[in-house]
Every structure is written in structure tokens, then in C-alpha cells.
Amino acid sequence: MLAVAATSDSAVNAHVAAVGRERNVLVNVVDVAELSSFIVPAIVDRSPLVIAISSGGVAPVLARLVRERLESLIDESYGSLTGLFERWRSRIKAAFPDVAARRRFYEQAVRGLVAQRVRARQPESAEHEMRALVECGATPRAGSVILVGAGPGDPGLLTLNALRALQQADVILHDRLVSEDVLSLARRDAERISVGKMAGGHAVGQGRIHKLMLEHARAGRNVVRLKGGDPFIFGRGGEELEFLAEHGIAFEVVPGITAAVACGAYAGIPLTHRDHSQSVRLVTAHCGESLDTLDWLALAQERQTTAFYMGVAGLATLGERLIGHGRAAATPVAVVENGSRPEQRVTLCTLEALADLARTGGIRSPALVIVGEVAALAARLHWFGASPRTWDALRAAA
């Protein structure tokens, strides 16, 4: 019925093709479209859903590229979802004999809670939603919210799940910290609402953000709540989910690369190191009050790394408190501004130089302050963007 000619001898391959034609046997001659009576497509296998991609044999590499794109877009849960429909098919047909009604049903199932539960790997809950939908018919579609970490700025640091969420969003509520490069990957016709907050001057209150999420989800939209870095690290993601849970709105969470991890990587600072640091802490230095409640004695221990978020305004205080509680004045510090972005700037100094750096260094938010022995490694291990400035060089220039 079917033959594949894959020898390295083109005469043999041509002969196979000719014999095949004579005997009505389908033949594929590998990489020779003219001799082939069928072509083997590239496939994306989410069985029972299978997507075949073919360039008719003229551009297999391009077909493979398209396959890779689809692989990343169509996640594994599509297989489970298709399987679920397979199991329910006859019941669905019986419940919705009218074709138009049946189509409405499927629309709702693939875009709504059934698919959402499958993505969240909750098969029982997905069955439950399916049953409810089959028994009660199409009710107004409930939307859901995906809380997505956008990472520190470099769009390459988005996860595949984040990309999928962005490409399927109807509405995107994003923070100011989310880079334009990341936003440009979102679905073109998604409505974008900036709810950015400046340190100090709150642009949109938290209550208003909650209200927007609720309104759009209740209107049946796929809402993406997009936050810089990771949504659960100093991102108020917890509060937003508590609010959604209270109001019965379904949600998912896509983690992102948090600033400490990204800034460490992009500045050449391993946050832990066998020789220099056995632990890492992520600490907020947001304002006077939070600075007072920190456990400075613990933070002043040697051989550990502390990543201070939101520390620009408190730079001088950070240095003073740590030294005051016993950390060596010469402890290395790296200040990473705009980590992972083209304009990234790294400044290397010591704890005792922080106060001067705060006055004269022109440090701007967003910046992450990494304190600990490992910070010195940036001098040797930096690889991204401009070379680090050192405090000594800055002072000499002044």
C-alpha cells in the first residue's frame, strides 16, 4: 500500500518511485517532492488532537519552524481536553441535538471553565464543569484571570505559559514595571489597561485593580493580570487571588523570573556559591517603616546574600544598619539598575560606600541591591550589557 524510499542512491529511489506508480502504491522519496506521491508532514502530537504541517515538500525547514511555534503555543493540556470531548461526545450530541446550540456549547467549553480546569491539571473538576455545562446548557460564559509573571524585562525570560496566556488574553491589566518588549508579544487586539504604580504616587489603587479584574472576568473575558518579575514576590499577587477566590472567579498563576534571580544572572553574580554564600534572602526595603521592622542582626551575618527590593530611597540606611549590626564595612555590594534590559547598569561598591553612592551615584528605580561576598564576582563574571562601574572609578572621576 505504501512505500518509503530513503536510500542514498538516487537511481534506486527513482526506480522505487516508478514501480510504485505502476502498481498504485503510494511512495514517498525522502526530500524529493517530484518523485513522491505523498508527503510526510511535520506533526504536533496532542493525541487525539494531531496537527500536521506541510510545505508540500518545498521548504521542510520552514515547516519545522512552524511546528516549533505551534508546539510552544499548543500545550499538552490540549490532548487531555480533546480526550475529554471524546468521552463526552455522545452525551453532548444527545443533549444538544440542534447543531447551532451544540456549536455554542463547544465554544463555551473550549474557552471557559472546562478548559481552564484541564489546564490546571484538575481532571475531576473538569469533568464536573463539563457535566454542569451539559446538564444546564450554555449559561453566560464565566471568564477567568491568569496572574502572570512577566519577568524583569527581557522578553526571552517569559515562560511558555506566560506567552500562551498573553496570546489568548482579551484584557491585560499590567503594571508599570512590565516592559514594552513583553507587552508587544500579547495578542494584538487584546485590550491593555495600565494600572502601573509609581513608588509613592499610587496611580491606580489596589481596590480599583480588584474591581477591574472582577468586572472583566464577569463579562466572560480572559483576563491576564501581568506583573513585573514574579507575581508572588513583593507583587501583591496573594491579595489579588484572595479577592478573586472570595468572588468565585477561577484563576491560574504563571510564575515569573523575579528581579533577584534575573539581576544576579545578568550581572554575573551567583546568589549562592559554595565558597561565599550558603543562603539568599529576598527583602523589601520599601520605606522607613519596613526598614525598622527588618531583622538586621540576622541580615548582618556573613556568608549569605541579601537581595533588597525597592531599596533606592533607603540605600544609605541599608549600609548604615548592616554595618551597625556587625556586617563588615568592606562587604561587597552590587546595585543593578534595569536588570536584563538593554539599559542595564551595574555599580559595584562596599557597604560603607553606599551612603556616598546614594548621594552622587544617580541610582534610579527599578534597582536591586545585592549585598554579600558574591557581589564581588560581577567584576569577573559580568557578561551582559555595559561593564560594571566601580565606586573607586566613580570617585576618581569626580
Catalytic entry in 31, 154, 170, 175: 175
Active site residue 211: no
The grid coordinates of residue 84 equal 475529554
CB of 282 to ligand SAH, least distance (A): 8
- The answer to whether 243 contacts ligand SAH (rule: CB under 6 A) is no
- The answer to whether 367 contacts ligand SAH (rule: CB under 6 A) is yes
Cα distance between residue 361 and residue 388, in whole Å: 13
Cα distance between residue 289 and residue 71, in whole Å: 48
Cα distance between residue 275 and residue 338, in whole Å: 28
- The answer to whether 315 contacts ligand SAH (rule: CB under 6 A) is no
Identity of the residue, 44 or 259, whose beta carbon is nearer to ligand SAH in the bound complex: 259
- The answer to whether 310 contacts ligand SAH (rule: CB under 6 A) is yes
Active site residue 175: yes
Among 153, 332, 372, 388, binds ligand SAH (CB under 6 A): 153
Cα distance between residue 133 and residue 108, in whole Å: 9
CB of 199 to ligand SAH, least distance (A): 7
Are 264 and 375 a contacting pair, CB within 8 Å? no
Among 20, 57, 143, 228, binds ligand SAH (CB under 6 A): 228
Question: Which residues of 241-294 form beta strands (DSSP E)?
Answer: 250-254, 280-284
CB of 196 to ligand SAH, least distance (A): 11
Give, in order, the Cα–Cα distances in Å from 363 to each of 281, 338, 354, 356: 22, 10, 11, 11
Cα distance between residue 38 and residue 253, in whole Å: 44
- DSSP letter string over 162-194? HHHHHHH-SEEEE-TTS-HHHHTTS-TT-EEEE
Closest residue to ligand SAH: CB criterion: 229
Cα distance between residue 209 and residue 217, in whole Å: 12
One symbol per residue from 337 to 366: x for binding ligand SAH (CB under 6 A), - otherwise; what is it? Answer: -xxxx-----------------------xx
Identity of the residue, 14 or 313, whose beta carbon is nearer to ligand SAH in the bound complex: 313
- The answer to whether 368 contacts ligand SAH (rule: CB under 6 A) is yes
- For residue 254, list its beta bridge partners: 148
The grid coordinates of residue 193 equal 489597561
CB of 394 to ligand SAH, least distance (A): 19
CB of 266 to ligand SAH, least distance (A): 9
First to last CA, the chain: 82
Cα distance between residue 110 and residue 119, in whole Å: 11
- DSSP letter string over 190-243? -EEEE----SSS-SS-HHHHHHHHHHHHHTT-EEEEEESB-TTSSS-HHHHHHH
One symbol per residue from 162 to 201: x for binding ligand SAH (CB under 6 A), - otherwise; what is it? Answer: ---------------x------------------------
Within positions 31 to 50, which residues make up the interface with ligand SAH, using CB under 6 A? none
Among 17, 195, 213, 233, binds ligand SAH (CB under 6 A): 233
- The answer to whether 146 contacts ligand SAH (rule: CB under 6 A) is no
- The answer to whether 317 contacts ligand SAH (rule: CB under 6 A) is no
CB of 335 to ligand SAH, least distance (A): 9
* List of residues contacting ligand SAH (CB under 6 A): 152-153, 177, 227-230, 233-235, 258-259, 263, 309-310, 336, 338-341, 365-368
- Active centre residues (catalytic): 175, 197
